[in-house]
A and B are shown apart, each in its own frame.
Chain A
C-alpha cells in the first residue's frame, strides 16, 4: 500500500455567505497523479488552494505527511509552498520583467540558492523540457506553449514533493496542451513527484492515475465497475 502524502479531511470553506467546500475529503498517495474534475464553480480550484496551503479552511484539516498544514502560520505555509510545492496555472504566471531563465531560477533564488548554482539548475530544466535557446526571452516573446513549459520548469526546479497544476493546458490548443501534459507526466514520473491536477478536460485527466469529481463542494471518487 502506497503511503498517503496529502490529505484533506472534512474541509469547509465559504467565501462570505457562499459555501465553496462543504466537508471535502481526499487523499493523494506518494507519487500519485490525481485529477480533480468537476463543473465550473464546483470548488475544485478552492480545494487545490486549500491542499496547497494558499487558503486556510474554516473547518477541517489539511495534512502533508504528518504535518498539519492548515494549523501553520502564514510564514511557515509560505516556506512550505516555496520549498516543497510547485505550481502551474492556466495564465500569466511568469514575471514579465524577467527572462525565462530568471523566471525558472527565481524559486531557487528566493530559497537562498546562490545565483550561479540556481542558473545552472534552471538550465538543466531548459534542456529537459525542450526549451534550449529560449533562456533570454521574456514572457511576451514566448508562445503560449513555450510560456507554459517555462512555468512547468519553474515549478519543477525546486524538485517539489507535490506539483499543483490548475487547468495547465486551459489556454493552449489541443496539440500544444498535449505536449505540455506529456512533459509534465514524464517529469513527474521520473522524479516521483506527486501531482494534483485540476482540470475539466477528460483528455487531460486521462494522464492521471486516478480522478475524483468535486460537486457542490464535496468530493466523489470514481470507482470503475469490477
Chain B
C-alpha cells in the first residue's frame, strides 16, 4: 500500500506526470531503491481504474507517456484514511535468530559465538547508518534513525539472550 499511497500523496500537492512522480518518490523515499517506471505506471493505472486518480490529458511530445494525473476526491479520502491508520505495532520477532540459538544450544554448538556474529553484523549496519546520518539531509537522518533504533532494540534482545543462555540451555535440553 505504501507506493499507491505515496503517489496519491504526491499527486495531492499538484497534478503530475508519471516521470515527475517517480523522480519525487525516489528523492523522498527511494533511499537506494528507486521505483521502477513499470511500477509507477502500473500503480497509476490501478489508481485510475479504481477512480482514485484520473489521467487528465495526453500532452504532445516525443519520449515517454505524457499523461498528467490528477487525484480525485475518492483518492484524497483514501489517502486520508491511510494516513490516519496506525501502522500495526508488530514486534519484529527475532524468529530466525531465536531458532539458531535454540538449535545451537540443543546440539551443544557455540550459541554465544553466533550471537556475537549477529551483534557484529548489527553494529556494522549501525555504523553505516550513522555515516548516512552524519553526511545526509534531515530526511536521510530521520530514516537512518528509524533503522538505528530498530537495530538497537534487536541488540538489546541479543544482549539479554546472551545473558540468559545458561537458563535457556537448561530449558531446551530438558
Residue B78 CB within 8 A of the other chain? no
Taken together as a complex, chains A and B put the C-alpha atoms of A222 and B148 apart, in Å, by 18
B130/A207 in contact, CB under 8 A: yes
Are B120 and A223 in contact, CB atoms less than 8 angstroms apart?
yes
Q: Which of B116-172 contact A (CB under 8 A)?
A: 116-117, 119-124, 126-127, 129-130, 134, 148-149, 151-152, 155, 159, 163
> In the complex, what distance in Å separates the CA atom of A224 from the CA atom of B163?
20
Most buried by A among B121, B123, B124, B151: B123
Alpha-carbon separation in the docked complex, A209 to B129 (Å): 13
Q: With an 8 A cutoff between CB atoms, is A211 at the interface?
A: yes
Tell me what chain A mostly uses at the interface: helix, strand, loop, or mixed: loop
Contacts of A225 in B (CB 8 A): 117, 120-121
A53, B94: Cα distance in complex, Å: 42
Q: Does B163 contact A39, Cβ atoms closer than 8 Å?
A: yes
In the complex, the answer to whether B120 meets A224 with C-beta atoms within 8 Å is: yes
- B134–A203 touching, CB < 8 Å: no
Contacts of A209 in B (CB 8 A): 127
- How many angstroms from the CA of A39 to the CA of B160 in the assembled complex? 10
**Least distance between A85 CB and chain B CB atoms (Å):** 25
* Given A39-B163, A185-B134, A207-B130: A202 in contact with B155 (beta carbons within 8 A): yes
Instruction: Pick from A39, A182, A185, A211: contact of B123, CB below 8 A.
Output: A211
14 A-B pairs with C-beta separation under 8 A: A202-B123, A202-B126, A202-B155, A203-B126, A203-B130, A206-B123, A206-B129, A207-B130, A209-B127, A223-B120, A224-B117, A224-B123, A225-B120, A225-B121
Q: Mark A20-63, 1 if CB is under 8 A from B, else 0.
A: 00000000000000000001000000000000000000000000
Chain B: number of interface residues, binned into ranges:
20 to 34
**Is residue A119 contacting chain B, with contact meaning CB distance below 8 A?**
no
Contact with B along A56-93 (1 / 0, CB 8 A): 00000000000000000000000000000000000000
Measured in the bound complex, the distance between the Cα atoms of B118 and A213 in whole Å is: 13
Q: Which residues of chain B are near A146, meaning CB under 8 Å? A: none
CB–CB B116/A206 < 8 A: no
Q: In chain B, what residue has the closest Cβ to A224?
A: B120
Which residues of A have CB within 8 Å of B163? Answer: 39
Q: How far is the CB of A183 from chain B (nearest CB, A)?
A: 11
Interface string of A195-226 (1 = CB under 8 A from B): 00000011101111101010000001011110
Complex: A213 Cα to B123 Cα, angstroms: 12
- 17 other A-B residue contacts (CB within 8 Å) besides A209-B127, A211-B123, A213-B116: A201-B152, A202-B123, A202-B126, A202-B151, A203-B126, A203-B130, A203-B149, A206-B123, A206-B126, A206-B127, A206-B148, A222-B119, A222-B120, A222-B123, A224-B117, A224-B123, A225-B117
Instruction: Report how far A207 CA is from B129 CA in the complex, Å.
Output: 10
